[in-house]
Amino acid sequence: MKTIRWGMIGCGDVTEVKSGPGFYKAENSTLSAVMRRNGALAKDYAERHKVPRWHTDADAIIKDPEIDAVYIATMTDTHHEYALRCAAAKKPIYCEKPMAMSYEQCCEMIGAAKANGVPLWVGYYRRALPRYLKVKELIEDGAIGDVRVVTSQVYSKLVDTKNPYFAWRTDPKQSGGGLFFEGACHTLDMLDFLFGPIVEVRGFASNKARAYEGEDLVTTTYRFQSGVHGVGMWCYTTDREYEMNEIVGSKGRIQYSTAAPGPLKLLRGEKVEDLGIVDPPHLHQPMIQSIVNEMNGKGHCPSTGESASRTAWVMEQVLGEFYQYN
């Protein structure tokens, strides 16, 4: 099999452990070059991760004939631009989530990739992690009977927007929204993976604490094409940290976390099974492996531009009115 030579645009915190090492630890894959506008930081990253080349200009990655595919790991506000440039250069694209600032941008990215005959994948890496594949397996094997409804709850304390980790995530101009837009997309994408597309959605968004511009309270209801119903509540201004999804079926329930390493529980009557499935050290690596395999003609990556754009559409339905009037 061919070794896929990756170029990385952006090498910030998310690439240190979650994604970056996966590109050189996956089979038949290597990280050939990284780019960051700050040359000192690009050089430091390359040296620590033993990457042969570093650059401060994205074109040095995009136009390099020795780069087979490009990972876009920048903030959301530049995903669209870099994806269009990669597509024009006929380079396969693996783009971080959220896919783009809007559903319209997602559609343009998909169109550009198709027009230039290149694949476009998006970093909803949970679709390839063993823990979530187990959830899908339990559902498909009828472990909880017919699925009726799924609930998602997230409560967290108010974040410090001076912390660089949260500063851009709470700035709609860089992230596309608030913490819901930047983080809850993982939950909604996983629900799409488990139950198929959401075809109807109702949502309300507010900014209660006025600590930053984006939404800090969101409530939603939705219906999947499969007939499953869903309810979600996200509040980022509470006195505690709590996050859980529960899938309710006719014969039992499944509880799992989107953000935390666990738990994963199967509940039937009075019986509770704790299914201890450990995540790999580099969360993107199974997804990267699926992309490398697909590029080598074996299998396919489960997270595409099309699937990610569906989550972008849901986000837009939920947040559209909030951003229209705020």
Share of the chain above pLDDT 90, in %: 98
Joined together, the tokens standing for residue 76 give 């959301």
pLDDT at residue number 230: 98
Residue whose entry in the numeric block shows the structure tokens 């999947």: 224
Please compute the mean of the pLDDT values over residues 289-318 and round it to a whole number: 98
Look at residue 33 and tell me whether its pLDDT is greater than 90. yes
Of residues 3, 37, 30, 26, the one with CA closest to residue 11: 37
Per-residue pLDDT band at 122 (split at 50, 70, 90): very high
Of residues 67, 137, 72, the one with CA closest to residue 105: 72
Share of the chain above pLDDT 70, in %: 100
SS (H, E, C) the chain: CCCEEEEEECCCHHHCCCCHHHHHHCCCEEEEEEECCCHHHHHHHHHHCCCCEEECCCHHHHCCCCCCEEEECCCHHHHHHHHHHHHHCCCCEEECCCCCCCHHHHHHHHHHHHHCCCCEEECCHHHHCHHHHHHHHHHHCCCCCCEEEEEEEEECCCCCCCCHHHHCCCCHHHHCCCHHHHHHHHHHHHHHHHHCCEEEEEEEEECCCCCCCCCCEEEEEEEECCCCEEEEEEECCCCCCEEEEEEEECCCEEEECCCCCCCEEEEECCEEEECCCCCCCCCCHHHHHHHHHHHCCCCCCCCEHHHHHHHHHHHHHHHHHHHHHC
Look at residue 273 and tell me whether its pLDDT is greater than 90. yes
CA 239 to chain centre: 27
What confidence tens digit (pLDDT) does each residue in 42-74 have?
A: 999 999 999 999 999 999 999 999 999 999 999
Cα–Cα dist 244/259, whole Å: 9
Look at residue 326 and tell me whether its pLDDT is greater than 90. no
**What domains can you pick out in the chain, each with its CATH number?**
4-124+283-302 (3.40.50.720), 130-278 (3.30.360.10)
pLDDT at residue number 30: 98
Please compute the mean of the pLDDT values over residues 84-108 and round it to a whole number: 98
Q: What's the length of the chain?
A: 326
What pTM value is reported for the model? 0.96
